């Protein structure tokens, strides 16, 4: 799908703002800090490490499917992408729109794409069972990796992000985790995918994947992951590359995330422009 042909650009929103104000956005020396309607939020420029916005960034909260970033990172570090994975029947315990079947075989690469693009829980569980040997052992691997990354306020209880006692993270920890994952080129490619088809190894089953991330309609946005549970609320990690800057935003329990997050990313850009003068 041609990303550049899609609407909703942050650049368009900025242009409208300039037109309404009758001036140059660069002339605004101190952009007004926007309100943050989220339980927690963290916005950082990755190259410099400059934190542009934060709210309760170290508060422990349920991360919903943002958890799948850790699952993907461990899988990428543990097994070759061309590995054939047979779907274990024990992995099919949670509903998923993709409806994988026990015994079907897919490449690990395609299951990772399914869980990152469409947030497929059965694909996620299949990856966990394949890499860890069982679900519990995979969670042990997740928490061990969290310790090596210095994620002091993160603990996992499952691979996919279901609400559970002892399953929590923070906006700041998730930003650090995502920055690490984005260093894997295949992960960076997967999380900016809008539409992709995958197929079982024998070719008898084809599955069409559609991203859950509406911000990818903006050509400047290149990821990363959405999440939702009744306890966690609407969650989102957004990555944007523009004018040489790499912005990463983590929001937990975000109100109107498709409207609010672009505004916060624009604010981050305005702060960077003001600071570069």
Active-site residue list: 65, 68, 119
What whole-number distance in Å separates Cα of residue 194 and Cα of residue 196? 7
**For residue 182, what is the enclosing H or E element?**
helix 171-182
Strands 38-45 and 50-55: antiparallel
What whole-number distance in Å separates Cα of residue 54 and Cα of residue 41? 5
Could you give the 3-state DSSP secondary structure of residue 264? helix
Angle (CA) 207-208-214 rounded to 5° is 145
Contact 118, 210 (CB under 8 A): yes
Strands 245-254 and 221-229: unpaired
């Amino acid at each position: 799908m041609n990303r550049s042909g899609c609407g909703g650009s942050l650049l368009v929103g900025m242009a409208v703002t300039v037109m309404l104000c009758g001036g140059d956005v660069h002339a605004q020396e101190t952009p007004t800090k926007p309100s943050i309607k989220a339980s927690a939020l963290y916005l950082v420029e990755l190259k410099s490490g400059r934190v542009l916005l934060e709210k309760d960034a170290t508060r422990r909260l349920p991360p919903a499917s943002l958890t799948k970033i850790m699952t993907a990172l461990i899988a990428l570090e543990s097994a070759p992408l061309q590995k054939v994975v047979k779907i274990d029947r024990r992995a099919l315990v949670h509903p998923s729109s993709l409806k994988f079947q026990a015994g079907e075989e897919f490449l690990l690469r395609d299951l990772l794409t399914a869980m990152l693009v469409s947030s497929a829980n059965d694909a996620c569980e299949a990856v966990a069972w394949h890499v860890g040997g069982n679900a519990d052992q995979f969670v042990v691997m997740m928490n061990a990796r969290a310790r090596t990354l210095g994620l002091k306020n993160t603990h996992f209880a499952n691979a996919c992000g279901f609400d559970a006692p002892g399953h929590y993270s923070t906006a700041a920890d998730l930003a650090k985790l995502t920055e690490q994952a984005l260093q894997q080129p295949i992960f960076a490619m997967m999380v900016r995918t809008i539409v992709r088809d995958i197929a079982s190894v024998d070719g008898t089953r084809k599955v069409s994947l559609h991203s859950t991330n509406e911000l990818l309609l903006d050509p400047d946005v290149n990821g990363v992951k959405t999440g939702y549970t009744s306890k966690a609320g609407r969650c989102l990690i957004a990555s944007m590359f523009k004018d040489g800057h790499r912005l990463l935003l983590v929001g937990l329990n975000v109100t109107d995330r498709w409207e609010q997050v672009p505004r916060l990313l624009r604010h981050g850009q305005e702060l960077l422009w003001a600071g570069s003068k």
